[in-house]
A and B are shown apart, each in its own frame.
Chain A
Amino acid sequence: MGFLTPLFLIALAGLAVPVLIHLTRQERGKPIRFPSLMFLERIPFEETARRRIRHWLLLMIRLAALAVLVAAFARPFVRGGSLAAIGGPGPEEVVILLDVSYSMELGDSWDDATGHARSVAGSLRPQDRASLIAFAETPVLLHRSVSDPARLLATLDTLRPGSLATRLAPAVKLAATTLAASALSRHRVVLISDFQRTGWQPDPDATFPGAVAVETVVVGDADAANLALTDLELRRRSEGGRERVAVEARLVNSGADEATTDVSLSIDESEVATATAVVPGGGAAPIRFDPFTLTDGFTRGEVRISEPAGAGLPADNTLSFVASPGGDLAVLVVDPLGTGESNLYLRGALGIAEDAGFTATVLTGSPSAAQLDAADVVVLNAGPFPGGDAGNRLRAFVEDGGGLLMVLGERSTVPAVHADFLPATVGAVSDAAGERRLGFVDYDHAVFEAFRGPRSGDFSQASFYRTRALAVGYGQVLARFADGAAALVEGRRGRGRVLVWATGLDRFWNNLPLQPVYLPFVHRVTRYLGGRGEAPPWYLAGSTVNLAAFAEAAGSVEIPAGAAAMEPGGGAVAVDPTTSLLRLDKRGIWEIRPPGQRPDHPLALAANVDVNESDLAKVDVEEFQSAVAGGAAAELATDDAEAILEVPEEDYEKRQSFWRYLLAAAFLLMVSETVLANRLSRDRIKEAAGGVRIRRPREAKTES
């Protein structure tokens, strides 16, 4: 037995009040002034009678009413025994997991999901608590263990499906963590989702303890027809000095019937082409638009299919992209040997670029000033850094914004006067004892960013037999060999960049030219040095983009001061200048510009939904439940849980709510007191009236 607010028990001292009032009560009321009381006799209220308690029952009822009232305010509860079970099952911690991926927009899925979530919130008892987690790719804990259903309902009103894909495992983990922090005795998870197969990757860590009741609510129709734009490709071609871009898209029909739809291409919000696509049931169809001329940087495009309203998923009907003109890069390859073998692979790589090409020129001597003026990038292929005026011209070239790639070989030397110009000091030739491979690649760098994803290129397959030692100076190491030696070092001089590659780009010192990554590696290095980096035309919604790297890759574009990320459809997200990280959690075009300013073609990024989410096939719910249930704490049965978990006193009190009964008892006692007091009062008046005695004048005189 305990009290939640024991301080109220101090009020029990008030029990003395009725007794004191009874004992000390004086006759009240203003007396009637009368000439003489000669003929009246007083009702005999002796002092002893006033000091004697005559109506014990009445007094006891009053004292009991007061005591019960005080006890009610002290909010008693019973921790153990059969009384502790009063109020039904113990308090329950409920976690509502609500899928807010864009696939929830299908048909009535969202209404069904939120309706169920509301019913769960509405069925909470006062002693229960609930948490609300909205999840897509990442779960977000919106409410943690609240007891007010109104807060949950208010939040549910604000939720809408987003642009991200379903990931069930992280949501399960967060729910398990939330429940682990709860001290309540009963745990329940209500998982409301369309349970797409693509959203569930079994994870041994994504499990609930056995004491957790898992309730799954499946919404949506797995067999619903849906047309989706699943891919977008931009093919660039230089025609007459202008860059032409051909857009190709891919349409997938998940329905059983053949579907015909109009497909449109918009450039800078103006529709420039339309086409009609016929997609067989369960099949796919490509759509190709005529090339358009790309003239402005950050030109926005959008491919859209027109799906009937209410049919399919609206989020996968649009693919956006952002493209900027590239142009041929003039590459000056300085090769002292001048043999075809020494730069065979390099020339080959620069010559087979399809979209934005390279114009490669091979020199054996030092480049002249005119040659440097016409060049964007200079590659010193296994040769020395020129001395004298040539060296100075090369330095000036770089400082004016040119790019220099120094590929090291046997003859690579650096004059002492220019040693500090390079980001690393070139050392001796080093032969590897065995196979030497790259151990570290900075995938955050613009050069390697394209190789970040799986199956996007594997540098670890390349073997390096001979290298030059590099002592890193002011530069930044972009790649290292497995033994820690620097492989690629970058440095900036003026407005230009210098890269030093510790080994060759031919087959003499390594087998990199034979690897698939060689061609894109050479292209990206060259473009990066030439300031013509290519930013991805679009990102997956949910990606986190390093804006600084993006701007760098987009051609060293400056991010405006005070810029913010303007979300598609309005809203602004502040950009942290230190990290420059931006999460693209909405599909559409994001603009990076100062709020309030509307420059032509501002820095922009496109974000498209993950088309995997368009696959509406569902996971087997029983399989899912068996995968998430039966954790290590399964033996924490309900009865034992209460013994192990420290149940808060508030929960006991709230569950038992003895104060309600006590208040009712106090009310009944007060009613009884009123009835009894009225009855006694009437009797007392009669008794008092019987005590009036008229004193005869003679008696009065005698007494006086």
Chain B
Amino acid sequence: MTRPAGIASRASFLDPDVLARIDNLELVARTVVDGFLQGIHRSPYLGVSMDFAEHRPYMPGDDIRKIDWRLYARTDRFYIKQFEAETNADVGFLLDVSASMGYGSGETSKLDYGRFLTASLAYFSAGQKDRVGLYAFDDDVVEHVRPSAAHLDKVLYAVARVKAEREGGWDKPLARVANTFRRRGILVVVSDFYADPDEISASLGVFQAQGHDVVAFHVLDPAEIDFPFAQASNFQDLETREVLQVVPEKYVEAYRGHVRTHIEELGRGFGRHGVDYVLLNSGKPLDEALYAYLTFRQKSTRVR
């Protein structure tokens, strides 16, 4: 594998500010995933794809290399060994592209971070022979790529071109997903979740109840978490354009408390509905997200 110029360490592969300088999203994804997996000394296919699932009788046309010869010695019948890696799943990525995702206090906006994350996970999933699809949405689905094993390129292309422009919403996009993502699979939701925690967790819990595996990546900018502003200023909502005059000097702690409360409520709500919840800081590397997804993928594979 060819490393991009200037990338010298593992941390660099996962630093969103470094990745932001790479134009090719596929290269970003490959850099992230391969670098990540090499760093943890695991083959991308060893983790799940070599796990034994079941045997089935040999049928003409099957690859004779997959015949379990030990079982043939005991039973004198040909059985094919089936592994989990070969049980392809539909993986649908729900990427929030509402205007609030366009915020970034540093070089990388939340949307960029979500873009890297989605591309990396899609690349990872495609390597697992999963069928990857995409729903980019704000208050409606703005980009839709039907899940397919051959649609990685489309997903990456769609992810690369979306823009955070409009006000966000959940009802219409989730209804669209429910109508089109029928086969049991995996839903990966990347959003900043500026919505009521109970409602959004309940909405995503419906997909969990329908047999999908749902993981929610909550992407927040460091400034949204720490609120580092000091002077009284006018703040403008990126989605509603509403302007408020705020004196942050004395009330930053209260703000941070409410953000923590919001996060906790999201965690609890998703937990109640069996949805995996991962909070991501867009100022930090992608390790945490990839670890979380790897863990989630192993768990979901075993369950299945």
Residues on A lying within 8 angstroms of B by beta carbon are 27, 29-43, 45, 685, 688-689, 692, 694, 696-698, 701
Contacts and interface: CB of A to CB of B under 8 A. Distances in A.
Interface residues of B, number: 39
A30 B240 CA distance: 17
Interface string B252-284: 001100110110010000000000000000000
B247 A36 contact: no
Given A34-B103, A36-B239, A697 B258 contact: yes
A694 B194 contact: no
B52 to A, nearest CB: 46
B247 A35 contact: no
Given A36-B100, A41-B244, A688 B232 contact: yes
A29 B236 CA distance: 12
B146 to A, nearest CB: 30
Is chain A's binding surface mostly helix, strand, loop or mixed?
Answer: loop
Nearest to A34: B235
B258 A32 contact: no
B247 A39 contact: no
A696 B258 contact: yes
B67 to A, nearest CB: 56
Contact of B234 (A31, A41, A697, A701): A31
A39 B258 contact: yes
B103 A33 contact: yes
B179 interface: no
A29 B232 CA distance: 11
A112 B196 CA distance: 101
A43 B247 contact: yes
A292 B251 CA distance: 120
B234 to A, nearest CB: 4
Given A34-B235, A36-B239, A38-B194, 15 more contacts: A27-B234, A32-B236, A34-B103, A35-B224, A36-B237, A40-B246, A40-B255, A42-B245, A688-B247, A689-B249, A692-B246, A692-B251, A698-B196, A701-B195, A701-B199
Nearest to B168: A36
A35 B244 contact: no
A689 B250 contact: yes
Given A34-B235, A701-B195, A27 B245 contact: yes
Given A29-B234, A31-B234, A701-B195, A43 B258 contact: no
A34 B245 contact: no
Given A36-B238, A43-B245, A697 B103 contact: no
Contact of B258 (A29, A34, A694): A694
Given A33-B236, A34-B238, A35-B103, A697 B197 contact: yes
Contact of B245 (A45, A696, A698, A701): A45
Nearest to B109: A35
Contacts of A697: 196-197, 258, 261-262, 265
B115 interface: no
Nearest to A45: B245
26 contacts: A27-B234, A29-B234, A31-B236, A32-B235, A33-B235, A35-B101, A35-B194, A35-B239, A36-B100, A36-B238, A39-B258, A40-B244, A41-B244, A42-B245, A43-B244, A43-B247, A685-B247, A688-B232, A689-B250, A692-B246, A692-B250, A692-B251, A694-B251, A697-B258, A697-B261, A697-B262
A586 to B, nearest CB: 83
Contacts of A43: 244-247
Contacts of B232: 685, 688-689
B243 interface: yes
Contacts of A37: 235, 237, 240, 242, 244
Contacts of A36: 100, 192, 194, 237-239
A701 B197 CA distance: 10
B180 interface: no
